[in-house]
Amino acid sequence: MIRRHLKAHRRAYTRGGAAAGMTAAALLGLAGGQLAGHHRPPAHPSPPVATPSDQGAPIGHCGVERWPVKTGTDADASQVVLSPVPTTIAHLTSLPAPSNPPNDRRVAPTETTVFTLMATITEFKLETDNDYHVVVSDGARTMIVELANPGCVGAASPFRTQISHARAQFDARYVATGNFQSVSVPVTVTGVGFFDRLHHQMGVAPNGIELHPVLDIQFR
């Protein structure tokens, strides 16, 4: 049927000019698509695929609450001793928590200490502040360790290079999204002690202790 119309419009173009020719061209396009089995593109494009944000380009907005302490741009960052102290989840979760930790000052000695611990990652996700929220466990207790996005860390932070390295180590193995992913992976994690305010976080320690920011993560 389409081929008969095409022949008729070719004759019309020869006799009657460009208008008929344009119609023929349109039919040629239609016929070519139908004959070749082509289809129109979907009206709505597919949603973008989630990708890791390890290149320093934050998604949305960076954090606010105690953010200078979380990223090493606070007034006390120079007091942090960078030599790691071996510890355990049991020890960290037993430390007394401050009642209201300040936004731009550290709670010594915990928040001026870098700790290393061996644990198992059980869950992780990408938070709205661009951190990777990672739950670690010793089999009986859990706590949180957080990997910051380098793009949310000020240039003055003494931890910036290590933060970027740790984030890249994680991204080489996993793609964190906005949903929790369950795993069971033994790791050795090194990071700065940090007391977060309790707000029903997944895997949070009773005293709110975290390693934040993580400076190194080794998968075992």
Domains of the chain: 2-36 (no CATH), 67-219 (2.40.50.140)
* pLDDT at residue number 15: 45
CB of 193 closer than 8 Å to CB of 143: no
Nearest-angstrom CA–CA distance, 154 and 160: 8
Q: Compute the average pLDDT of residues 2-18.
A: 44
Nearest-angstrom CA–CA distance, 217 and 116: 9
Of the pLDDT bands very low, low, confident and very high (cuts 50, 70, 90), residue 209 is very high
Q: Compute the average pLDDT of residues 166-171.
A: 97
93-104 burial, b for 16+ CB within 10 Å, e for fewer? Answer: bebebeeebeee
Nearest-angstrom CA–CA distance, 113 and 199: 24
Q: Compute the average pLDDT of residues 36-41.
A: 37
Q: Compute the average pLDDT of residues 16-26.
A: 40
pLDDT at 122 over 60: yes
pLDDT at 34 over 50: no
What is the average pLDDT score of the chain?
82
Nearest-angstrom CA–CA distance, 166 and 200: 26
Q: Distance of CA 192 to CAs 32, 69, 160, 175, 212, Å?
A: 64, 10, 12, 23, 5
**Angle CA(133)–CA(163)–CA(129) in degrees, nearest 5?**
40
pLDDT at 45 over 50: no
Alpha helices in 53-150 (DSSP H): 67-71, 89-92
Nearest-angstrom CA–CA distance, 220 and 119: 10
Per-residue pLDDT tens digits for 68-84? 999 999 999 999 999 99
CB of 101 closer than 8 Å to CB of 207: no
Of the pLDDT bands very low, low, confident and very high (cuts 50, 70, 90), residue 47 is very low
pLDDT at 165 over 50: yes
**Which of 100-104, 147-151, 155-159, 190-194 bottoms out in mean pLDDT, i.e. has the lowest?**
100-104
Of the pLDDT bands very low, low, confident and very high (cuts 50, 70, 90), residue 199 is confident
The H or E element containing residue 169 is helix 160-171
How far is Cα of residue 25 from the mean position of the Cα atoms in its chain?
Answer: 50
Q: What is the phi/psi pair of residue 216, to 5°?
A: -165, 145
CB of 52 closer than 8 Å to CB of 24: no
Q: Compute the average pLDDT of residues 38-57.
A: 40
Q: Compute the average pLDDT of residues 109-130.
A: 97
Of the pLDDT bands very low, low, confident and very high (cuts 50, 70, 90), residue 59 is confident
